[in-house]
Amino acid sequence: LPLEGLQAGGSGPLYLKLRQSLEDAILSGKLNHGDALPPERDLADYANISRVTVRKAVDDLVRDGLLVRRHGSGTFVVKPVSRVQQSLSRLTSFTEDMARRGLNTRAQWIERGLFQPSPDEIMTLGLPADGLVARLGRLRIADDLPLAIERASISAEFLPDPTRVTSSLYAELDKTRSRPTRAVQRISACALKDPDAAMLGVAVGSASLSIERISYLASGRVVEFTRSLYRGDAYDFVAELTLSD
Ligand code: GLP
């Protein structure tokens, strides 16, 4: 890190100069997404400045979302991502959306199995009294960037063996002709808390889009009830509007 000479060069508070050098290192790619920042004590020794000054510069970058502190493991670089433009009117899957952009997807599983449904799931999915629910909880990653956390509930009738979903839920539903053909989606704003913020690699309090999707078969049966948290710095949802009469 180019931290020598912070004391000597230019005017202005030291912490701002340190902040600038760190920011330059992140934006120029000298520090990469996921890299750990050296411990504050090492940075202070190295640049020959006080730890209070280092802390102040790091605090600033955490607040601006360029760094994230993870409890017990250190401070990490968050690289600004290029935003994804997502159409609001097409019923596509995450895997398809990313493939169209030439990105590879993978998942970090949070949960995958059959469960006794919650009252909410019974109601939304219209489950029979003795029905089970398949739950898929995933951190969805595109080309190594965590973009969204999705928690899907599907009637076990449509997905009796959730472990068969290795990459795409919709591809799996397609095989049994139970891929949804219509969905209602609700989008609202929310601030991320831990552990979601940590999983997405952003600071606590960062903006996110909370999206609920209820999808249906042509028969009107509900297939999926999914709650997702999309990174606010990575997504633009775009809808075409037409004048109705
Ligand atoms: C989107 C939707 C989810 C849906 C998922 C399926 O992300 N928000 O409601 O479950 O796509 O994606 P895939 O088929 O890649 O698992």
CATH assignment at residue 223:
3.40.1410.10
Evaluate: CB of 147 within 6 angstroms of ligand 1: no
| Whether residue 99 is found in the same domain as residue 71 | no
Question: Using 50, 70 and 90 to split pLDDT, how confident is the model at 82?
Answer: low
Cβ atoms of 80 and 233 within 8 Å: the answer is yes
* Residue 1 CA neighbour count, 13 Å, CB half: 25
Residue 243 lies in a domain: no
Residues 52 and 88 in one domain: no
Give the nearest ligand 1 atom to 148 CA.
7
Characterise 129 by phi-psi region: left (phi > 0), alpha (psi -120 to 50), beta (else).
alpha
Which residue would you say has higher pLDDT here, 33 or 127? Answer: 127
- The reply to whether 38 falls in a domain is yes
Residues 153 and 132 in one domain: yes
Name the average pLDDT for the chain. Answer: 89
Q: Does residue 71 surpass a pLDDT of 90?
A: no
Band of pLDDT at residue 88, cut at 50, 70 and 90: confident
Domain assignment of residue 201, given as a range: 84-238
Residue reference for tokens 């750990």: 36
| DSSP letter, residue 36 | B
Residues 102 and 19 both lie in one domain: no
Strand partners, 213: 185, 226
- Claim to verify: residue 121 and residue 23 sit in the same structural domain: no
| Claim to verify: residue 32 and residue 150 sit in the same structural domain | no
Say yes or no: 68 and 95 in one domain: no
List the beta bridge partners of residue 188: 210
Give yes or no: residues 126 and 95 share one domain: yes
Is ipTM over 0.85?
yes
The pLDDT of residue 60 is 86
For the chain, what percent of residues have pLDDT higher than 90? Answer: 57
Q: Which atom of ligand 1 is nearest to the CA of 96?
A: 15
In total, how many domains does the chain have? Answer: 2
Least confident interval from 66-70, 94-98, 200-204: 66-70
Per-residue CA distances from 22 to 1, 27, 36, 63, 118 (Å): 8, 9, 12, 14, 47
Same domain? For 118 and 208 the reply is yes
63 and 28 in a common domain:
yes
**What's the sign of the alpha-carbon dihedral 70, 77, 210, 94?**
negative
190 and 103, same structural domain? Answer: yes
Any domain includes 184? yes
Give the total residue count for the chain.
Answer: 245
Atom of ligand 1 nearest to the CA of 173: 14
C-alpha distances in Å from residue 53, one per residue of 28, 69, 207: 23, 17, 28
User: Is any atom of ligand 1 closer than 6 Å to the C-beta of 178?
Assistant: no
